[in-house]
Structure 1
Amino acid sequence: MALIAQILLPFFGGFAALLVAGTGRDRERWMTIAVMGATLVALLLGVVFGDDGRWLAFYRADWAPSFGIQVLLAMDGLTAAMLAISAGLGMICVFISWHVTHRSALFHAVICWTVAAANGVFLSFDLLIFAFFWELMIVPAFLLIALWGHGDREAAAIKFLVFNAVAGLGLLAAVFWMGATSDPITFDAFVLSESEYGKTAQILLLLGFALAFMVKLPVPPFHAWLPDAHTQAPTAGSVLLAGLLLKTGAYGLFRFPPMLFPDGLVTLAPWGMALGAFGVVYGATLACGQTDAKRLVAYTSIAHMSIVLIGVCGGVHFALIGAGVEMIAHAFSSSALFLLIGALQHRTGTRDLRELGGLQKTAPAFATSFALFFAAALAMPGTANFLGEALVITGMFQVNWFFAAVTLVSLVVSVVYATRLIGGIVFGEPKPAVQDVPDLHRYELWPLAILGLCTLIFGLFPQLLIAVLSPAVEAALQPLTFVLP
């Protein structure tokens, strides 16, 4: 029941937030916080009382057996980590959006529904149910951008919707074909993983899955929706996009291609590594030229998530476990940076680096937080980001030294955009926009403290995270060992 609770608690919690609106001061906010807290408690109980085998928890129930549809949920260490991030970021989004009064009840309901849909993606191993949650996840994210965003928010929301909805058609087509050609009809990923598809069929099916995953990740040339969506989204929307929705694409790449299409993955892996290597350089280079702080961090996300694509396509232990670590580490650092930029924009009315500067003299807690999380984004030793990128690069040197070298060199480019952001916000004489900027409040400091502690703890004690991810990595490697030359 702990697995079902990860979906149903936030789903019905969204309706509860709507129902309590207007019955008292901030009740929809506290209702959302309580729902996220209950979801975390249910997750903790599922982990503590879970099995010691391949799965910490497993749930199977028929839904429409005549059509081969069932509720099939499973949780291992990677899933548990993503579920914890999902509920944790949901709670953080409430605290950093306390100033939101426009359609407040619907705003908090949308946060709950985003978490519920993402949790369905992380847990589902019935491919039709997985595809359902994959498409459902687009709706609340679209609403967050379109209703509570800034500037040309409607255009950014529509671009987000079109890119992700169209890319999802490939996933749906592949899932329908796999289910329809199985005997008996089933969408059970574990059963379908034993099907003997030919190499051509595996390649075509993998392309259908990969298109949806790479758009959500995103990697060039499927990234065009991301900078605009981040720039126009409210702070909570940017946090959920960077910390949660992008991770569903990374999670899908990590989980299903090695399991379902090992021959196809081995065949297409060099192209995936080339695309990832280009994405790392492209994202880092474009970040260097941005004057909008949010847009700068959005392009860094393209670079970092491209490293995940390289790691998955590497197909060796170090690269895969590095990809898993990078997924989690990036969720911490990117969410914190968007939180900080949103708080600064709320105070100053601008995100333009040319109008900011000297924050260390006017708001030292702000400045220190920016320095910490951009050190993480820069993959400085001692942070979880360094662990993830170092493992991916180490693994890639076992597979293809050229792509490993490109990824390594791209880290030099990251120094440029990191120093631009730090220099533009933290150092120098205070600009007029930051002369009287209030420092971080308590409700902003505790989320940053938690994200910062996670970044440092997993960076300084890497075995804590590696031990959690190892069963998922071994499961992903197992089918590949039969087809690797």
Structure 2
Amino acid sequence: MPDFPILTAIVVTPIIGSALMTLIPARRPEITRIVALLFTVATLGLSIWLLWNFKVGDPNFQYVENYEWIPGLGARFILGVDGISIFMVVITALLMPIGLLASANHVDHRVKAFFGWFLVLETAIMGIFLSLDLIGFFVFWEFMLVPMYFLIQGWGHDNRRYAATKFFLYTAVGSALMLACTLVLGFLHEASTGLLTFDFRILAAWGFGGLSITTETILFLGFMAAFAIKAPLFPFHTWLPDVHTEAPTAGSVVLAGVIIKMGAYGFIRFSFELFPRATVNLAPLLLITAVIGILYGSIVAAMQRDLKRLVAYSSVAHMGFVILGLASLTVIGLNGATFIMVSHPLTTGALFLIIGFIYERRHTRQIDELGGIWKPAPVLTALFIMAMFAGIGLPGFSGFVGEFLALAGTFISQRPYAVIAAVGVVLAAVYMLWAFQRVFTGKPTGENAKMTDATKREILLVAPLLALSLFLGLYPKPVLERIEPTVRQKIALLEQKTDYRQKRPHGFDSNKFGGESYKDLAKKALKEQQ
């Protein structure tokens, strides 16, 4: 399919399905479910085709699509995929049908609206991961708020309105800062060159000669605010536990799997290219924030009495490892950060699914009210054990690979931070094993003794996530060989435009990264617009 707009198809397929569902009578929810599933599976199929045909070893953007959009503002509809975004697209496409199937049993009111918003959410997420124009990126970033807000408010738990509003306001504040900085960046480029554009490839090529370090730092902090809130970094994390607690199971799976990855993705995608000097100068701040987040998230997770909140705080710690890896400014660390972004959705998605299964049976997530589940539900227990081991980074699972690389990269460049962050690995084992002991072991009493085991449908929902985590833990090459060329290019370009030089245990030569210079990338982007 050389001329087929595959990236546009991936973005618009879900929202087309959502539009078609408006034609289905509300009294036929079974048809709505089938249509929603078909369109998410179609998107998954397109994403798998994209991954299969992705050129390994090419660090540059592939399948670039560049269309005129808002000429007066200099905004274009530009999509592209590289070794970092390709896996975020595939993970999103994988989690969406799983989330829909997990919701089939307990979403029994306003079914058409639920599945419609869910498909709109998928379009917004895909747009974020594929956009190369900053205005387009912002539009999808902001657009994502709407379906997520209505999903939480309409189908969440008792305190859902508070959680939905908190999520919306937190993200909106960060988005406003990002929009302001985006416009400033574009208008500064116009004043300097006469061309108004928000193509970040062109802006990256121009910015270092045209921006003062003060301006660059201010703009970086504006983008950082939006990304830190969404990541969520300490102390901008407080919305996450509330939203996870109140969101429906499908919402939690997608939230933990891909939405909180958007912040880290934004850091990786834009900070190295647009703000290299600010990235180098403020890397110690990111490292401090990451270490605090790892320790804080782990300690607070151990204090939780609600299973969902425990896993939510564990996500704060895991995202700390992502920021740790990218702030190490090393190829190894950035490889690890990106790998965690691929791995974490698998393990946390499985955990939230299993917690949802428990809640459907017991109508509680309170650890003190559960116990002895292993006896009436041995298969469900086995699934939790696998997800738990994957979540704490046991060797053999994908979580180990990502955390090991992130810590190794940080150990090379900033050894004290790596040593402190390693404590988080131990704490993760502590709080997860503690939760397992309280919930699954012991003698079951009362309602716990009457629990039913996992059904075939539930096993089929969780099994692909755990199987992928195990496969990538034993054989991470398919992911790393696609990620690393792009990562090497980012670090090499960072070195070209700053005084920073990473420590190279393997003799990495920044002049042999196999990519293109900023000027070459900008020339290609300008040629696309002609």
Q: What TM-score does the superposition give when structure 1 sets the normalisation length? A: 0.98
CA distance in 1, matches of 2:83, 2:113: 33
> What SS does structure 2 have at the residue aligned with 1:61?
strand
1:8 matched to which residue of 2?
12
Bigger Cα displacement from structure 2, 7-16 vs 329-338: 7-16
- 2:117 pairs, out of 107, 110, 119, with 110
CA distance in 1, matches of 2:489, 2:448: 51
Q: Is the 8 A contact 1:355 1:433 kept in 2?
A: no
CA distance in 1, matches of 2:149, 2:26: 25
- 1:91 pairs, out of 87, 97, 105, with 97
Bigger Cα displacement from structure 2, 202-211 vs 36-45: 36-45
Q: Is the 8 A contact 1:255 1:476 kept in 2?
A: no
Corresponding position: 1:320 with 2:334: yes
Shift of 1:56: 3.3
Deviations 1:382-405 (A, max 9, x none): 111000000011011111111101
Which 4+ residue blocks in structure 1 deviate beyond 4 angstroms? 49-52
Correspondence 1:344-423 to 2 at 5 A:
344-423=358-437
CA distance in 1, matches of 2:35, 2:41: 10
CA distance in 1, matches of 2:352, 2:196: 45
Q: Is the 8 A contact 1:322 1:388 kept in 2?
A: yes
2:32 matched to which residue of 1?
28
Corresponding letter in the other structure for 2:236? F
Corresponding position: 1:208 with 2:222: yes
Corresponding position: 1:71 with 2:77: yes
CA distance in 1, matches of 2:41, 2:376: 35
Corresponding position: 1:461 with 2:467: no
Correspondence 1:263-274 to 2 at 5 A:
263-274=277-288
Corresponding letter in the other structure for 2:166? K
CA distance in 2, matches of 1:65, 1:51: 32
CA distance in 2, matches of 1:76, 1:450: 25
Q: Is the 8 A contact 2:387 2:466 kept in 1?
A: yes
Corresponding letter in the other structure for 2:162? A
Deviations 1:53-88 (A, max 9, x none): 423321111112232111110012322211111121
- 1:284 pairs, out of 298, 308, 312, with 298
Q: Is the 8 A contact 2:153 2:164 kept in 1?
A: yes
- 2:145 pairs, out of 130, 138, 157, with 138
CA distance in 1, matches of 2:249, 2:22: 21
1:301 matched to which residue of 2?
315
Shift of 1:367: 0.3
CA distance in 2, matches of 1:22, 1:211: 41
> What SS does structure 2 have at the residue aligned with 1:312?
helix
CA distance in 2, matches of 1:191, 1:367: 52
Corresponding letter in the other structure for 1:374? M
CA distance in 2, matches of 1:478, 1:266: 13
Deviations 1:23-63 (A, max 9, x none): 64511111111101111222233344455642332111111
Q: Is the 8 A contact 2:257 2:344 kept in 1?
A: yes
1:175 matched to which residue of 2?
182
Q: Is the 8 A contact 2:373 2:439 kept in 1?
A: yes
Deviations 1:328-369 (A, max 9, x none): 111111111111101110110100111111111110111011
Bigger Cα displacement from structure 2, 15-24 vs 227-236: 15-24
CA distance in 2, matches of 1:238, 1:420: 22
> What SS does structure 2 have at the residue aligned with 1:19?
coil
2:512 matched to which residue of 1?
none
Q: Is the 8 A contact 1:18 1:28 kept in 2?
A: no
Corresponding position: 1:442 with 2:456: yes
Corresponding letter in the other structure for 1:42? L
Shift of 1:432: 2.0
Q: Is the 8 A contact 1:386 1:459 kept in 2?
A: yes
CA distance in 2, matches of 1:390, 1:147: 40
CA distance in 1, matches of 2:459, 2:104: 14
Corresponding letter in the other structure for 2:101? F
> What SS does structure 1 have at the residue aligned with 2:374?
helix
Q: Is the 8 A contact 1:82 1:328 kept in 2?
A: yes
Q: Output the aligned Cα RMSD.
A: 1.3
CA distance in 1, matches of 2:86, 2:447: 42
- 1:256 pairs, out of 265, 270, 290, with 270
CA distance in 2, matches of 1:91, 1:253: 28
1:191 matched to which residue of 2?
202
Bigger Cα displacement from structure 2, 165-174 vs 430-439: 430-439
Q: What TM-score does the superposition give when structure 2 sets the normalisation length? A: 0.89
Corresponding position: 1:55 with 2:61: yes
Deviations 1:261-313 (A, max 9, x none): 11010000000000000000000000000010000000000000011111111
Corresponding position: 1:163 with 2:170: yes
Greater Rg by CA: 2
CA distance in 1, matches of 2:53, 2:309: 43
Shift of 1:202: 1.4
Bigger Cα displacement from structure 2, 474-483 vs 153-162: 474-483
Corresponding letter in the other structure for 1:194? A
Correspondence 1:418-433 to 2 at 5 A:
418-433=432-447
Corresponding letter in the other structure for 1:357? G
Corresponding position: 1:340 with 2:354: yes
Corresponding letter in the other structure for 1:32? A
> What SS does structure 2 have at the residue aligned with 1:74?
strand
Shift of 1:199: 1.3
Corresponding position: 1:149 with 2:156: yes
Corresponding position: 1:80 with 2:94: no
CA distance in 2, matches of 1:287, 1:50: 39
Corresponding letter in the other structure for 1:335? G
> What SS does structure 1 have at the residue aligned with 2:78?
strand
CA distance in 1, matches of 2:467, 2:62: 25
Corresponding letter in the other structure for 1:66? G
Percent identity over the alignment is: 34
Bigger Cα displacement from structure 2, 424-433 vs 224-233: 424-433
Q: Is the 8 A contact 1:2 1:45 kept in 2?
A: no
CA distance in 1, matches of 2:128, 2:414: 32
Deviations 1:110-168 (A, max 9, x none): 11011110100000010001001101111111111111000111011111111011111
Structure 2 residue runs without a partner (length 5+): 502-530
Shift of 1:410: 1.8
Corresponding letter in the other structure for 2:119? C
CA distance in 2, matches of 1:152, 1:22: 27
